[in-house]
Structure 1
Amino acid sequence: SLYLIRQEMTVSQKQLGEFCEALKQYLKNVSAQRDCFHVTAVRLPDGLSFVVYEFWDGEEEWK
C-alpha cells in the first residue's frame, strides 16, 4: 500500500536561506531511500511556506 506524507512548514524571512539549504539536502537524502517512490517540495505563493510530499511503500518504511 502506498503511504502519502504531507508536511507544511512556514519559516521566517531571516531563516529562509538556511531552511532552503536544509530542505534541499533533506529531499536529496529522502529520494535516495529505497522505499520512497517520490518526494517533492512546493513553495507557496507567500514565499515563506513550503509543502513537502513524500510517497512511501508503507508506514513502516516511512518511519
Structure 2
Amino acid sequence: MGFKELSDEQWKFIKPFLPPQPITGRKRADDRKVINGILFVLATGCRWRDLPERYGSGVTAWRRLK
C-alpha cells in the first residue's frame, strides 16, 4: 500500500485544529506540506533527513511533530 497525501476534504477537516500563522516574525512553513511530510515518514518509516523535498525540511516536520 502506497502513501497518499491528504485530500482537500481531509485538509479542510484538519486545518481548523492547527494554530494560526504568527503575526510577527518568520513565516511558518506551509502547514499542509509539513503535515503530509509527517504522515509520509510515519507511513513509510523513512528517516526524517531522507524526507522528499516536496514535503519541505525533515527537521521542520520533526519539530512540528515534536
**TM-score between both structures, scaled by the size of structure 1:** 0.30
Higher relative contact order (CA 8 A, sep 6+): 1
Structure in which a larger fraction of residues adopt helix: 2
**TM-score between both structures, scaled by the size of structure 2:** 0.29
Structure in which a larger fraction of residues adopt strand: 1
